[in-house]
Amino acid sequence: MAEWFADDSLWEAIYPFEFPDAVIAAGETQVANALRLRGVPQSGSALDLGCGPGRHAIALASRGFAVTAVDLSAFHLEKAKQNVAKARLAIELVQADMRAFMRPESFDLTLSLFTSFGYFDDAADALQTLQNIHRSLRQAGALVMDVLSKECLARRFQPTTSQKAPDGSVLFQRHAIVDDWTRVSNEWTVVAGSRVRTFDFSVRVYSGRELRDLLVRAGFASVELYGGLDGRPYDLEAERLVVVASKHGRDAR
Ligand SMILES: C[S@@+](CC[C@H](N)C(=O)[O-])C[C@H]1O[C@@H](n2cnc3c(N)ncnc32)[C@H](O)[C@@H]1O
């Protein structure tokens, strides 16, 4: 069976909920914040891995980075292409699976934002992805990753939620913690007019410590944890789990 994240009908159906205008616009501030985190390269070449509609890639390119934006979804890449054209920027858009995409020593900065990591059933695929990122970074390069972590979920878990999109369609979400707190399973039902579609998928959730250990296993020399892209501490008030992982530690700079 095809893996859930390779199904473009899911990304297309949830797009109005996942990427309303305010979320697209927030990409600019998120990149500005990410670039303020300690140890994050300020120029050079950047990889936006799991780029979606390209909001972070565009914010990086507008700051002078040479940007490569990678995504598996043809639907998202088409959105990214339109947004890049609108911004009148040059960004390399690549359709690839992050388990396979690797360019040795090519990037100063890699971004993986808005929970674009943790989708694979096989733990070896997650490690492979992080090893690809590590090998693709230049010597002084760093990864900024942002996910919803185990600690954050435990504090504000809601078994059901609903959300209305600007176009009037509604998304009902049901969540459960499964596999001994290793994954969150999701049932998302999109009601658009008389059309009802349900999607089932699950995402791996890491604790801060688990993600740090995995990054170290993948070869990263230093890993700093934050509770948000704004650099707040990874404590009880953390909104997200944000990591800055440096390929060779800060001394490489
Ligand atoms: C939650 S979205 C986030 C998009 C983007 N980072 C943002 O914040 O706007 C996750 C993205 O990862 C992409 N993706 C999922 N699995 C992937 C894979 N195996 N390889 C590459 N991209 C993948 C999806 O198509 C989607 O665009």
Q: Which atom of ligand 1 approaches the CA of 97 most closely?
A: 20
Tokens of 112: 């993986």
Q: pTM of this prediction?
A: 0.97
125 CA distance to ligand 1 centroid (A)? Answer: 15
Ligand 1 touching residue 128 (CB < 6 A)? no
154 CA distance to ligand 1 centroid (A)? Answer: 24
234 CA distance to ligand 1 centroid (A)? Answer: 24
Q: What is the mean pLDDT of the chain?
A: 96
110 CA distance to ligand 1 centroid (A)? Answer: 14
Domain locations along the chain = 4-149+206-252, 153-202
Helices (H), the chain: 8-18, 21-36, 55-61, 74-87, 123-136, 150-156, 208-217
pLDDT of residue 253: 46
pLDDT of residue 249: 72
Question: Which helix H or strand E contains 142, and what residues bound it?
Answer: strand 137-147
Residue type, 97: D
Ligand 1 touching residue 226 (CB < 6 A)? no
Asked if residues 138 and 107 have their Cβ atoms less than 8 Å apart, the reply is yes
Which CATH architecture does the domain made up of 4-149+206-252 adopt? 3-Layer(aba) Sandwich (3.40)
Asked if residues 119 and 91 have their Cβ atoms less than 8 Å apart, the reply is no
Ligand 1 touching residue 5 (CB < 6 A)? yes
Q: What is the pLDDT of residues 142-191, one digit of tens each?
A: 999 999 999 999 999 999 999 999 889 999 999 999 999 999 999 999 99
Mean pLDDT per 10-residue section of the chain, whose length is 253 residues:
94 96 97 98 98 98 98 98 98 98 98 98 97 98 98 96 94 98 97 96 98 98 98 97 90 48
* Residues in CB range of 186: below 8 A, 6 or more apart: 173, 174, 175, 199, 200, 201, 202, 203
pLDDT of residue 250: 57
Query: Beta strands 195-204 and 241-246: pairing type?
Result: unpaired
